[in-house]
Amino acid sequence: MPQKKKPAGKKAVAKKAAPAKKKAASPKKIAAPPKKKAAPQKKMTAAVKAPAHKAKPAAATSARGGGLAASTPGITLSTLRENLGARPKRTRVGRGHGSGMVKTAGEGGKGQTVRSGGGKGPAFEGGQTPWARRLPHKRGYSQKARDIGHFRTTFAVVNVSSLADWDPKVEVSPQSLVAKRVIGKAMDGVKILGGVKPGKKIPAGLVFRDVLFSQSARDALTAAGAKLGEE
Range of the domain at 183: 151-223
Q: Does 215 reside within a domain?
A: yes
Beta bridge mates, 172? 208
Distance CA 72, CA 43 (A): 29
pLDDT on residue 130: 92
Q: Does 82 reside within a domain?
A: no
Share of the chain above pLDDT 70, in %: 65
Average pLDDT score, the chain: 76
Q: Does 164 reside within a domain?
A: yes
Helix, strand, coil shares of the chain, percent, nearest 5, are 40, 5, 50
Closest of 131, 194, 116 to residue 158, by C-alpha: 194
Task: Kindly indicate the confidence band of residue 24, based on its pLDDT and cuts at 50, 70 and 90.
Answer: very low
Distance CA 150, CA 163 (A): 31
Residue-wise DSSP of 59-102: HHHHHHT-S--TT-TT--TTT--PPTTSSPPPPPPSS-GGGS--
pLDDT on residue 122: 87
Share of the chain above pLDDT 90, in %: 34
Closest of 160, 227, 231 to residue 191, by C-alpha: 160
Q: Does 167 reside within a domain?
A: yes
Q: Does 35 reside within a domain?
A: no
Which segment of 14-18, 130-134, 180-184 scores lowest on mean pLDDT?
14-18
Give how many domains the chain has, as a whole number: 1
- The residue-averaged pLDDT of 175-200 equals 90
Q: Does 4 reside within a domain?
A: no
Say yes or no to pLDDT of 18 above 80.
no
Q: Does 190 reside within a domain?
A: yes
* 191 touches 210 (CB < 8 A): no
Count the Cβ atoms, other than its own, within 10 Å of residue 148: 10
Distances (CA, A) of 140 to 136, 143, 145, 146: 13, 10, 11, 12
Assign residue 200 the CATH number of its domain: 3.100.10
Closest of 162, 165, 159, 174 to residue 203, by C-alpha: 165
Q: Does 174 reside within a domain?
A: yes
